[in-house]
Amino acid sequence: MESAQTLQRPQVDVPATDFDPYADEVLDDPYPHYEMLRELGPVFYLSRYNAYGIARHAEIDAVLRDPVTFCSSAGVGLANFHMEEPWRKPSIILEADPPMHGRTRKVVAGLLAPASINKLRPTFERQAELLVERILDKGSFDAVTDLCEAYPLKVFADAVGIPAEGREKYLLPYGDMVFNAFGPVNERFKACLAKAQDGAIAWIAEVCRRENLTPDGFGAQLYKAADEGLLAPEEAPMLVRTLLSAGLDTTVFTLCNAILSFSRHPEQWAHVHANPALARQALEEVLRYESTFHSFYRTTTREVEVAGVPMANEQKVCVFIGSANRDPRRWGESADKFDVTRRASGNLAFGTGIHGCAGQMIARLEGEIVLTALAKRVRNIRLEGKPVIHYNNSVRGYTSMPVSVSAD
């Protein structure tokens, strides 16, 4: 079958660009590049990758809300799984279309529904309070390792029910590999795949086995769903792996982006410190202003027009989430301003439609709880050195971020 890489450029009158969204210099500061893409038009052609691109909020929202025309089963990365052999088995929830998607999504969404995750709130709050005590005692620390990674590695991994040993070594490299795979097979992806193959992939497979999970965690509940016939037996461990890859790195990076945003905009932190009840609203603004996910793909299932541009069947379409969340057509002239008083609902940080992130409720819960705990105790957050970007093909976060905090 013809590979996606051999498809010819569509013969249509659409702006073309050799822009590379995966270049280091773009990842350093993508927002001026996103402005350029939005100004090209509602649809443009990425000549390097033989894919259409969309960078405006309205068109991305429409594409994500039409899973029949713009499918996920061909992969949510650049590779077209309908036209080339996947390098790994596709996700049975993220890279599945109805009816399979509805069946597996229903089970996972039930686990992560508000009624379920709210039971975790007291434990999550206590762990956040303990963590804030530790960083206040330190005064100066690395926000990435000591806060943004430490919290979800504890509370989320505990909630899934995996063993404690090996989390810090293996969980994040595994997620890094998964999210890098949404882009091209570049040197960045090859390097993280090699790192994951050096223990992380085998470790993940082992800890997701039924006998290695705690009896009351999300993982055990997925196996119970298989016992009840809601899942096939082989699907339970696959969904446990999906929880770990989808629910950890994104929360880590969201917290990184929050700490950096508040350290750069102390007047905004002053609002939250003065009124910790603003934490949830502030988190939404962080998700809009510094989106964790920056881009992924959908694939056309038929000939279709988007904003007047005809697209063939099996055409890859890159949606630039990070750009949509800064689009002044949606957010007004202050789109590039960080403002925690903004009502940022409608941001696409977790996607939208039937493939909107199934774990967004628990991710929002973790973020809200951490920001609330910080707001109650921490008056000042200061950046004490240059943050080190974590380069990834799809998500935006940091490897190191030296900061200091002080209390009232």
Long-range contacts of 63-68 (CB under 8 A, 24+ apart): 63/298, 63/306, 63/317, 63/319, 64/298, 64/319, 64/348, 64/351, 64/352, 64/353, 64/355, 64/356, 65/352, 65/353, 66/353, 67/97, 67/98, 67/101, 67/353, 67/354, 67/355, 68/301
Q: Can you read off the two tokens belonging to residue 77?
A: 């990365």
Average pLDDT (148-177) is 95
Average pLDDT (17-37) is 97
Has residue 368 got a pLDDT over 70? yes
Q: In which band, very low, low, confident or very high, does the pLDDT at 93 lie, cut at 50, 70 and 90?
A: confident
**Are the beta carbons of 159 and 151 closer than 8 angstroms?**
no
Beta bridge partners of 310: 305
Amino acid 172 reads L
The predicted structure's pLDDT at residue 11: 57
Q: In which band, very low, low, confident or very high, does the pLDDT at 4 lie, cut at 50, 70 and 90?
A: very low
Sketch the domain layout of the chain as residue ranges: 4-407
Handedness of CA 255, 257, 263, 269 (dihedral sign): negative
Cα atoms in the 13 Å half-sphere on the side-chain side of 324:
31
Q: For residue 164, how many other CB atoms are within 10 A of its CB?
A: 10
Q: DSSP string covering 191-213, please?
A: HHHHHIIIIIHHHHHHHTSGGGS
Angle at Cα 76 formed by Cα 116 and Cα 63, nearest 5°?
90
The predicted structure's pLDDT at residue 134: 97
Q: Can you read off the two tokens belonging to residue 179?
A: 């999210």
The predicted structure's pLDDT at residue 1: 30
Has residue 27 got a pLDDT over 50? yes
> CA nearest 316: which of 5, 1, 38, 23?
5
Top-confidence residue, 87 or 318: 318
User: pTM for the full model?
Assistant: 0.94
Has residue 388 got a pLDDT over 80? yes
Has residue 229 got a pLDDT over 80? yes
**Are the beta carbons of 260 and 290 closer than 8 angstroms?**
yes
Q: Can you read off the two tokens belonging to residue 329?
A: 């057509």
Interatomic CA distance for residues 361 and 109, integer angstroms: 10
* Alpha-carbon distances of 84 from 8, 47, 79, 296, 367, rounded to whole Å: 16, 20, 7, 18, 38
What's the pLDDT tens digit per position in 188-225? 999 999 999 999 999 999 999 999 999 999 999 999 99
**Are the beta carbons of 113 and 140 closer than 8 angstroms?**
no
Interatomic CA distance for residues 330 and 77, integer angstroms: 26
The predicted structure's pLDDT at residue 5: 43
Whole-number average pLDDT of the chain? 93
24 class by beta-carbon count within 10 Å (0-12 exposed, 13-18 middle, 19+ buried): exposed
What's the pLDDT tens digit per position in 119-146? 999 999 999 999 999 999 999 999 999 9
Residue 388 three-state SS: strand
The predicted structure's pLDDT at residue 2: 34
CATH number 1.10.630.10 is the correct assignment for the domain at 4-407: yes
Q: In which band, very low, low, confident or very high, does the pLDDT at 356 lie, cut at 50, 70 and 90?
A: confident
Average pLDDT (32-39) is 98
Average pLDDT (65-85) is 94
Kind of pairing, strands 296-300 and 316-319? Answer: antiparallel
| Secondary structure letter of residue 398 according to DSSP | E
Q: In which band, very low, low, confident or very high, does the pLDDT at 13 lie, cut at 50, 70 and 90?
A: confident
Q: In which band, very low, low, confident or very high, does the pLDDT at 9 lie, cut at 50, 70 and 90?
A: low
Q: Can you read off the two tokens belonging to residue 265?
A: 């905009």
